[in-house]
Amino acid sequence: MTQRKRGPMLRSSLRSSVLFTACLLAALAEPSLAETRVRPGFNLFTTQQDVQIGAQSAAEIDRSVPLVSGGYPVRYVERIGQRLAAGAPGPGYPYRFRIANLSDVNAFALPGGYVYVHRGLIEQVRTEGELAGVIAHEIAHVALRHPTSQASKAYVTRAGIGLLGTLLGDGRQTTVSGIMNAVGGFGLNALFLRYSRNAETQADVVGAQIMARAGYDPRDMAGMFRIIAARGGAGGPEWLSDHPNPGNRSDYIVREARMLKVKGGVRDTGAFRETQIRLRRLPPPPSRQVTRR
């Protein structure tokens, strides 16, 4: 009786041992993947205030910048944006994606999840992956709270460390309008449209991670940046002045891509070409840079 029980137990134990060994060998055969960790910087604002600031700035943009209103191209960009935003780290902002009816090769983001892509950029990219790379980069700026982080640093510079300590040390929370008025008011300004080289590096890395989670190859982002850089110089893309190149951008995006697993795999569909065709059928867009204050 004892021998009969022991036989199945030994076979079960042997199977478990073999399974464990196989899993261990598989893990050793495939190098471990670990994405680069990026943490948001100094910020005086809450995430709710990010949304408030973004809404007020977006309202000003929508009054002063021509937009492609509704239709197939807008739905297409929104669909790509939401797919990417689903894998964004940080606060769950209500991301919104709009097409600025401008010929410049550019894109920009506002606090709280507002992302604008210029029509000129959509018409110039070669694949959906390249377009997704630019959008993912802008989403990363929002997720890392770069716009309000810059506003916070500017406020400390202008208000002084002593005043900042007074505002925060006694438990009182400075108001959004108080800070924003001190650094130039609500709406479009250089704080939300120009970033440091370090912020650009962070957005490249996190943007690559967002792309991989959404099923896009992050190397498409690197390819897009090579194209933008090649078109630089006099009259080159405005994106270059808004987003200073931290150097070797394509190289470190490719290195980050090697550490990431692309979930699924998005391929170009007829929707990408159809979007470009429909945009090109519209009247030519003006070439007007977003006004800075």
Tell me the pLDDT of the chain averaged across its residues. Answer: 77
37 part of a folded domain:
no
Give the range among 21-25, 105-109, 156-160, 266-270 with minimum mean pLDDT.
21-25
3-state secondary structure (DSSP) of residue 64 = helix
67 part of a folded domain:
yes
3-state secondary structure (DSSP) of residue 242 = helix
Domain holding 183, by residue range, is 47-195+268-281
- CA distances from residue 146 to 193, 198, 227, 265, 271 in whole angstroms, order as listed: 10, 10, 25, 29, 32
223 part of a folded domain:
no
276 part of a folded domain:
yes
Mean pLDDT, to the nearest integer, of 125-133?
A: 94
Over its C-alpha atoms, the chain yields an Rg (Å, rounded) of 24
- Predicted confidence (pLDDT) at residue 96 exceeds the cutoff of 60: yes
241 part of a folded domain:
no
Mean pLDDT, to the nearest integer, of 74-100?
A: 96
- CA distances from residue 48 to 52, 140, 145, 263, 281 in whole angstroms, order as listed: 6, 18, 12, 31, 40
DSSP letter assigned to residue 108: E
- pLDDT-based confidence at 134, cuts 50/70/90? very high
259 part of a folded domain:
no
Give the range among 124-128, 139-143, 155-159, 224-228 with minimum mean pLDDT.
155-159
d(CA 168, CA 181): 18
Burial of residue 293 (number of CB atoms within 10 Å: 0-12, 13-18, 19+) = exposed
219 part of a folded domain:
no
CATH code of 166's domain? 3.30.2010.10
- How large a percentage of the chain has pLDDT more than 70? 68
Q: What is the pLDDT of residues 173-213, one digit of tens each?
A: 456 666 666 656 555 455 666 788 888 889 999 999 999 99
Q: What is the pLDDT of residues 30-70, one digit of tens each?
A: 333 568 888 888 888 889 999 988 998 898 889 889 999 98
Predicted model pTM = 0.78
Overall number of domains in the chain: 1
